[in-house]
Chain A
């Protein structure tokens, strides 16, 4: 299967700081990247969809100015949580789309656990 990495795997930060999460597809090129958020014991909620070279599309209720997504290359997408607050503490997971077909199997990064104090 496709290899996806995320960095960092775990981060603890103070309230008000910004945190950047990197997602890399190591053995394939991803024109589309999904970013999910998962609160403890909850399901994955899609935050945004990014396409290489263009602006991300955010799901309803997700603040685009708070969660900055950059998909500058086919192998790297970043999510920056700006001015983080304790309620932003969550598990953030990226998922690149492999292949051009619809509804293909999706691979997920190992996730980044963010804790905001």
Chain B
């Protein structure tokens, strides 16, 4: 079964509100990546985190990798309607390029 879980499954926010999705792996990851998928589209790479405790920012998006390298989070400040989509974390285990995708969080933003 799915070994990388994300919560919540779905989040509906008003434009301007913040949003956070959490990603948890049952095992330690060598790195974690985040993707955004718009309805009908394919996943688009957002960022990769490699180091324990790493924090990266991209404008209104803040990504964190847990100290134990088993969890991660994506926080969006002041959401906009363009942020709508499903956000997936994807973990890499060991010496492989295989991505294990999380269950995803669908974000809906009401104007």
Which residues of A does B touch, CB under 8 Å? 1, 32, 34, 36, 41-46, 49, 93, 95, 97, 102-111
Name the B residues within 8 Å of A41 (CB-CB): 106
Contact yes or no, A43 B92, CB < 8 A: no
Asked whether B42 lies within 8 Å of A110 as measured between CB atoms, the reply is yes
Partner-A contacts on B (CB < 8 A): 2, 30-31, 33, 41-45, 48, 50, 88, 92, 95-104, 106
| A111→B42 contact, CB < 8 A | yes
Q: How distant is the Cα of A117 from the Cα of B33 in the complex, in angstroms?
A: 36
Q: Which residue of B lies closest to A6 (CB)?
A: B42
Assess A106 versus B42: contact at CB under 8 Å? Given A43-B88, A43-B102, A44-B88: no
Chain B interface helix/strand/loop/mixed? loop
- B104, A43: Cβ atoms under 8 Å? yes
Distance in angstroms from B29 CB to nearest chain A CB is 9
The residues of A that contact B103 with a CB separation of less than 8 Å are 43
CB distance B92 to A44 under 8 Å?
A: no
Please indicate the chain B residues that have their CB under 8 angstroms from the CB of A42 in the complex. Answer: 104
CB distance from A33 to the nearest CB of B (A): 11
Contact indicator A102/B92 (Cβ below 8 Å): yes
